Amino acid sequence: MAKNINISQPVGDEVAYTTCYMCACRCGIKVHLKDGKLRYIEGNRDHPVNRGVLCAKGSAGIMTATSPSRLRKPLKRSGERGTGTFVEIEWDEAMAIVTDRLAKIRAEDPNRLAFFTGRDQSQALTGYFAQMFGTMNYAAHGGFCSVNMAAAGLYSIGGAFWEFGEPDWEHAKLFLMFGVAEDHDSNPIKLGLGVLKGRGAKFISVNPVRTGYSAIADEHVAITPGTDGLLVMALIHCLLEAGKIDAEFLVRYTNAHHLVIDAPGSADHGLIARNSDGAGLAYDREAQGLTPADAKGINPALLGSFVLPDGRKAQPAFALVAQRYTDPAYAPEAVADLCGLDAKDIRRIAGEIAEVAFNQPVILNQPWTDSAGVRHETMIGRPVAMHAMRGVSAHSNGFHTCRAIHVLQMLIGAVDTPGSWRYKSPYPKPIPPGPAPGGHQRQANGALDFPPLGFPRSPQDLLVGNDGEALRLDRAFSWEAPLGLHGMMHMAIGEAYAAGRERVDTLFLFMANMAWNSAMNPAESSRMLTARDPDGNYRIPFVIVADAFASETVAYADLVLPDATYLERYDCISLLDRPIGSAHGPADAIRVPVIKPDRDVRAFQGVLLDLAGRLKLPNFVDADGKPLYKSYPDYMINHQRKPGVGPLAGFRGRDGKAFGKGESNPDQISSYVENHAFWRHHLPADQLYFKHGNRAYLEGAKAMGLIDSSEQIVLNLYSEIIQRFRLAAEGHGPHQPPERLRAATKRFMDPLPIWYQPVEEAENDATAFPLHALTQRPMPMYHSWGSQNQWLRQILPENRLYLHTSLAKRHGLGNEDWVHLTSRNGTITCQVRLMDGLAPDTVWTWNAIGKRSGTWALAKDAPESQRGFLLNHIISEYLPPDNAGHRRSNSDPVTGQAAWFDVMVRIEPCRAPTRTSQPQFPVLPPPHASATKARP
């Protein structure tokens, strides 16, 4: 800086607004350009997600947009698969290869296309493509990420944690966070924590590791991994013992008073007793008789046993809750050792919840009317907010743990009330929110009758054959994962390999590093991708990879379709998909090209539309077989999923003034651009809380097309849907689990939350593998696209394994010492660092720092490959085989969620001098360096 610098220099000569894609948070950004080049990216101050702030990844976006690791041109494999040798080809040839291959598959058996997308934010389009193509073998990465939270939430309260709900940061007085580290929703959580702590509210973080958010918690609860459910049930135990529950909330908004049939052995045991109209029944203590549970003015019983008209008995659902959790087995003193906590602390936290919920309610002077038509002069809230993410989700008991948290929220009346956790629009939705998964039937045009990812309500919705075994490649929606709502991407390669050519022809991967950090057991995944049948052909016949970067997985492709980076393309962050709404109302956003690609790449969504047109897929072509959409922005404007409902909800109608529902508007994208790339609708003040039972909100949401019915969404304290699966396991009905899974189904499909030791841990030899091993994302990075960024990699170019000082002492280890870390699946070698803020029998490391040498345009001797490492190598997607040789997936038995955090390990100091992490793999050449131009 010279002395006489111009301190009023314009930032650039051009400003554009778009949406960030350096992670899944989807913040609004203001991009400054100078001479057509990126100068500065800052947060958009008006944007509902980030309100002007921007994280480290977002600011480093300008280095990702110019990264040398970007792919440059379509590639066709020229050598052995896995060696990374390619020829560059033209797009025409690439599209012809894909079209020919997929057309043939579609004509023969569409399910032989397995289409798996990674951290894709256009699943509304990719899923629709799969449905119209006619393959059930479609999934996005939610199955190894968040499905436990989605399924537990959607089947309990019609909404979910993750980025689909948020604490009432402005009013909460006590905030409990379970297993939340940096993840989706990163900036909103940081903004919220700043507000919450600024107000002096208490923040309790339940997390084995004290970093990031946990570092600023007022109380850090260093729980033993996988025991959060027990802690929550102990809190429920204490609150029930003390009578600290919100009975009014329960009878108004949940099925707590619904009578559950008590007739063990019968086909409807455990289902809700209903009248001839199908309405659930309750017992009215006023009239001393049965009544529809939704009747106005009743005084429903929550405890007791009542006689049904057919003479059988039934109990209110709440009575079952009370019976289960008042059991001494859930007393803090009974669970404390397993949780690694002090029973006194559990009782104190229960006391704090009770104090804040019932002695310090938040009362807003805001009249509103509930679904029953009762007008309330105020909104009374229980200011205890909860939030949970990966630390709960990534265990095989995560579904029930998450449901336990929702049950706790319901019991204290803390679902969408002032000060509690709140739905983000477009939630809440009916329970469950959509049709059953498609796959059983195809229409005459070859499309599946429903989207491949759906919502089972009973065993007949499962995608299983006559033998009860999975129809889908990844086993989702089978008896191994009845509520596998997001599919089971972690099984895709293993099962494609096992199934062989008869079942899978083409594995089509978009934006998923499935041969590396998105794989459990990458070495095995790589082996399976290159394995050959005895006839010499690849066992997985064809692999297409669409990605913007030269990841580890690119080397395993037969064909590479290079994607544009986020600043080079259109996108829509849609209400049909994973929108950016908040508790204040619905919102969506777009990406617009800010810079032009300097390479021969195409944005994937446009490629997919082009492909759909070439394949003449239904609803992508007109009656004459001509493509309906000439580009992705054309689709964003003109596609309608339902009449009036398209990818973008704002600026609809001919005049651009409609929102939610409305005719297509040819100027819609221009309106978004003028509005700085997003649209939002502010809900009126009387619709901001109690959305599940708020008449004005539900009617408004229906009018906007967010939900199909304005009926009250009755929260499922008790899950009748889950009980239907248990009944099948008990021998009822035509759809029953195979014998090998009968006992497990009965055990895990419990209509009330249960706790069990994580499956892998329960089968583990605790003397051989006594330690838990976890990963977490570093705040400045996300996935491998982030950690290759030349600024971000200066912050964290290599990871370490963190140990508690007491554990290190037992093994005589100091900072930077090398260790072998061994699980049932193998051994890795890495360096350690010591810390105190950690559960003593837990080790952890940063996720996705380790790279394979030669990838991501990093030097062969980059620290990421030489000392960085992945924990993935010692995690398997399969559990050990049972007596008959079946290998269950290493997943939550309810949802199929990949159980990343169940792995158990042991640690041993390295005896020999060590300088590199293990395992190491052959160095991959840069894909374009080895690519020779194809001869014309």
Partner 1 sequence: MTSLSQPWPGATKLGLVIDLDTCVGCHACAVSCKEWNHGGASGPLPDYDSRGPNPDGLWFNRIHSYETEGGACGSRTVNFPRSCLHCEQPQCVTVCPTGASYKRAEDGIVLVNADICIGCKLCSWACPYGAREFDEDEGVMKKCTLCVDRIYNETLPEAEREPACVAACPSRARHFGDLGDPDSAVSLLVLARGGVELMPELGYKPTNRYLPPRKAVVPTGPVEKPVRMGTGFSASLLSLVDRVLSR
Among 179, 419, 456, 863, binds partner 1 (CB under 8 A): 863
Cα–Cα distance, 361 to 717 (Å, whole number): 22
Q: If binding is defined by CB under 8 A, does position 247 make contact with partner 1?
A: yes
Residue whose pair of structure tokens reads 């006391």 in the numeric block: 351
Q: Which stretch binds partner 1 (CB under 8 A): 114-122, 192-200, 509-517, 619-627?
A: 192-200
Shortest spacing between CB 254 and partner 1, in angstroms: 10
**Which among 716, 745, 189, 678 has a CA at the least distance from the CA of 464?**
745
Contacts of 868 (CB under 8 A, 6+ apart): 797, 798, 799, 849, 850, 851, 917
**Burial 16-49, CB ≥16 within 10 A → b, else e:** bbbbbbbbbbbbbbbbbbeeeebbebbbbeebbb
Would you say 63 or 87 has its CB closer to partner 1? 63
Q: In sequence order, what E strands does 410-554 have?
A: 421-423, 506-510, 542-547
Candidate residues 110, 158, 167, 212; the one interacting with partner 1 per rule CB under 8 A: 212
Among 206, 302, 404, 821, which residue interacts with partner 1 (rule: CB under 8 A)? Answer: 302
Of 36, 79, 194, 880, which lies in the binding site for partner 1, with binding defined by CB under 8 A?
Answer: 194
Interaction between residue 220 and partner 1 (CB under 8 A): yes
Cβ 308 to partner 1 shortest distance, Å: 21
The interface with partner 1 within residues 824-853 (CB under 8 A) comprises 835-837
Residue 687: name the closest of 584, 575, 581, 588 by CA: 584
Which residue of 394, 857, 871, 907 would you call a contact of partner 1, by CB under 8 A? Answer: 857
Q: How far is the CB of 56 from partner 1 (least distance, A)?
A: 4
The answer to whether residue 50 forms part of the interface with partner 1 (CB under 8 A) is yes
Contact 444, 728 (CB under 8 A): no
Q: ∠ at Cα 564 (559, 569), nearest 5°?
A: 140
Q: Least distance from C-beta 216 to partner 1, angstroms?
A: 6
CB 343 to partner 1: min, Å: 9
Q: Considering beta carbons, is residue 46 or 90 the nearer one to partner 1?
A: 46
Is residue 782 within the footprint of partner 1 (CB under 8 A)?
no
Piece of the chain touching partner 1 by CB under 8 A; list 163-171, 200-208, 766-774, 896-904: 200-208
Identify residues 336-355 at the interface with partner 1 (CB under 8 A).
344, 347-348, 350-352, 354-355
Query: How deeply is 507 buried, as exposed, middle or buried, from its count of CB atoms within 10 A (0-12, 13-18, 19+)?
Result: buried
Q: Which stretch binds partner 1 (CB under 8 A): 243-251, 272-280, 640-648, 658-666?
A: 243-251
Question: Which of positions 865-884 make contact with partner 1 (CB under 8 A)?
Answer: 866
Q: Which of residues 493-512 bind partner 1 (CB under 8 A)?
A: none
- Of positions 35, 92, 243, 365, contacts partner 1 by CB under 8 A: 243
Does 625 participate in binding partner 1 (rule CB under 8 A)? no
Q: Is 794 in the site for partner 1 (CB under 8 A)?
A: yes
Q: Which of residues 424-453 bind partner 1 (CB under 8 A)?
A: none
Q: Quote the tokens at residue 142.
A: 């939610």
Angle at 174 between CA 171 and CA 175, to 5 degrees: 95
Please answer whether residues 600 and 91 qualify as being in contact, where contact means their C-beta atoms are separated by less than 8 angstroms: yes
Identify the CA nearest to 167 among candidates 452, 376, 389.
Answer: 389
Q: Which of residues 352-381 bind partner 1 (CB under 8 A)?
A: 352, 354-356, 372
Decide: is 241 part of the binding site for partner 1 (CB under 8 A). yes
Q: Can you point out the beta strands (E) in 660-750? A: 678-680
| Residue closer to partner 1 (CB basis): 298 or 589 | 298
Beta strands 771-776; 678-680: pairing state: unpaired
Tell me how far apart the alpha carbons of residues 774 and 535 are, in angstroms, rounded to a whole number: 41
Q: Which is nearer to partner 1, 1 or 444 (CB)?
A: 1
779 is a site residue for partner 1 (CB under 8 A): yes
Nearer to partner 1, 190 or 274 (CB): 190
Of residues 8 through 47, those in contact with partner 1 by CB under 8 A are 8-11, 34, 39-43, 45
Stretch that binds partner 1, among 209-217, 585-593, 642-650, 679-687 (CB under 8 A): 209-217
Nearer to partner 1, 251 or 713 (CB): 251
| 3-class secondary structure, 60 | coil
- What residues from 275 to 294 belong to the interface with partner 1 (CB under 8 A)? 285-286
Q: Are strands 28-34 and 281-284 parallel, antiparallel or unpaired?
A: unpaired
Instruction: Tell me how far, at minimum, the Cβ of 385 lies from partner 1, in Å.
Output: 13
Binders of partner 1 in range 735-774 (CB under 8 A): none
Residue 7 touching partner 1 (CB under 8 A): yes
Residues 64-83, interacting with partner 1 (CB under 8 A): 68
Q: Rounded to whole angstroms, how far apart are CA atoms 343 and 348?
A: 9
Find the shortest distance in angstroms from Cβ 672 to partner 1.
Answer: 22
H, E, C per residue of 626-679: CECCCCHHHHHHHCCCECCECCCCCCECCCCCECCCCCCCCCHHHHHHHCCCEE
Q: Work out how close the CB of 27 gets to partner 1 at its nearest, in angstroms, rounded to a whole number.
A: 9
SS3 213: helix
CB of 716 to partner 1, least distance (A): 16
Q: Are strands 506-510 and 113-117 parallel, antiparallel or unpaired?
A: parallel
Of residues 115, 144, 162, 318, which one binds partner 1 by CB under 8 A? 318
Rounded Cα distance, 599 and 617, in Å: 29
CB of 181 to partner 1, least distance (A): 10
Query: Is the distance from CB of 740 to CB of 882 less than 8 angstroms?
Result: yes
Residue closer to partner 1, measured from CB, 198 or 936: 198
Residue owning tokens 């929102």: 659
Of the pair 349, 561, the CB lying nearest partner 1 is at 349
Give the SS3 label for residue 12.
coil
Residues 148-187 that bind partner 1 (CB under 8 A): 173-174, 182, 186-187
Report the amino acid identity of residue 463: L
3-state helix, strand, coil in the chain (%, to 5): 30, 20, 50
